[in-house]
Amino acid sequence: MYFQVTEFARVGPHRQIQVRDHGWMSTTGLQPAEVALATISRSELEELALNFLLPDDAEETGELQDWGMIQRKLARYGVEATIDELKDAPVVIEIEESLRQMLAD
């Protein structure tokens, strides 16, 4: 199975900036993807996605994001934000409807 995670920063009611776009693969053994997905809950998939986005040095820094990278990316688009403001921003995980229908819950 291949999962794609696109991370956006919402900077207004009708504007968002793509911060990162990543993907990861997960093996299903001999099961078809539909069968394997039916064993994963939405909350488990959300946790997998969040863990996938952790910076490489998360264990050393304790940070959930590479805040400096996000800050620089937003600045390129004229959006100024402090690291504290970024840390306070809500995290929203959106799972496409077609994938949501295949999950366990």
* Bridge partners, 104 (sequence order): none
- Full DSSP string of 8-52: EEEEETTEEEEEEEEEEE---TTS-HHHHHTTS-HHHHHHHHHHH
Q: pLDDT tens across 68-92, in order? A: 999 999 999 999 999 999 999 988 8
Rg (CA), the chain: 16
Residue 80 DSSP one-character state: -
Structure pTM?
Answer: 0.77
Query: Each residue of 38-68: pLDDT tens digit?
Result: 999 999 999 988 888 888 888 999 998 999 9
Q: Which amino acid is at 64?
A: L
